[in-house]
Amino acid sequence: MRRVGKIKELWRYPVSSVTGERLDEVSVSATGMEGDRRYALVDAETGIVAHPERDKRWQKAVFVKSRTAPSGAIEVHVPDREWLHVEAPGLIAALTAFFEFPVEVRPYERSAATVEATSFAVGRYDVSPLHLLTSASVDHLKSLHPAGNPDRRRFRPNIFMDAESDVTGFAELGWIHKPIRLGDLDGTVIAPTKRCGFTIIAQKGLENDPEILRNVMKFGARNMGVYCAPDATGVLKVGDAVWLL
């Protein structure tokens, strides 16, 4: 068993495609983080879920925020507006004004809970219970593109791991199919994370930078970070050690 790092940050995205919330600890299960990707932005006229990497109309989504209130309710913040409950009457109007086309927030509880209202996004995240990214990968990308800023927020990990000094390069790409321990929780690294145009989109403090994706494609075969599947239910905390078994 080899210690490869420790959990530096935990991120949850209650509404997919928008900026999520940073946590100190979170419950997880075989299907991923509790409360992750519960809702999605949708084009109200077509019913198509937001894809900022494919459709420029959605690229402003990174300036919208989502969080989980103490009550468990999901809240959304549109720039220059107050936080609104996901079912608040004014949220649709605020989103539509911000994006300049009709936008709704619809529930998405993974395919296990699919009903007519959620079928538009069935299976979108089923392959990816937990997305792990190491500081080694971010540092390596910075060395390949010194003028750029490969901030971890570009890659939207659930777990951002501070790597041990002997973990270098796109190290986690070599962990596929290997057992991993996150704190007290065992699991398996199941797949590499294939990157898309979302990584280059401008957001707060970060400029649009196509070289980010070009270097991931050239040196990582378009992959950076990995997906992990927990074996059981447990709690992850910032500071938990990460072991490769």
| 135-144 and 210-220 helices, crossing angle to 10° | 110
pLDDT at 194 over 50: yes
- C-alpha distance from residue 16 to each of 39, 40, 128, 215 (Å): 6, 5, 13, 25
Per domain, the residue ranges of the chain are 2-13+127-244, 39-121
CB of 191 within 8 A of CB of 127? yes
Beta bridge partners of residue 233, listed in sequence order: none
Residue 161 CA to residue 5 CA, distance in Å, equals 6
Q: What is the CATH number of domain 2-13+127-244?
A: 2.40.33.20
**Which residue intervals of the chain are DSSP H helices?**
89-99, 135-144, 210-220
Phi, psi of 59 (to 5 degrees): -65, -20
Residue 37 identity: R
Pairing of strands 15-16, 39-43: parallel
48-83: per-residue pLDDT in tens?
999 998 899 999 999 999 999 999 999 999 999 999
The reported pLDDT for the residue numbered 114 is 46
Helix, strand, or coil (residue 52): coil
Residue 207 CA to residue 147 CA, distance in Å, equals 11
96-131: per-residue pLDDT in tens?
999 999 999 999 755 444 445 444 444 444 556 899
Edge to edge, the sheet with strand 25-29 lists 32-33, 25-29, 234-237
- Predicted TM-score of the model (pTM): 0.91
Phi, psi of 220 (to 5 degrees): -125, 10
Helix, strand, or coil (residue 123): coil
pLDDT at 95 over 90: yes
Residue 229 CA to residue 244 CA, distance in Å, equals 14
The reported pLDDT for the residue numbered 61 is 96
Sign of CA dihedral 2, 4, 190, 128: positive
pLDDT at 2 over 50: yes
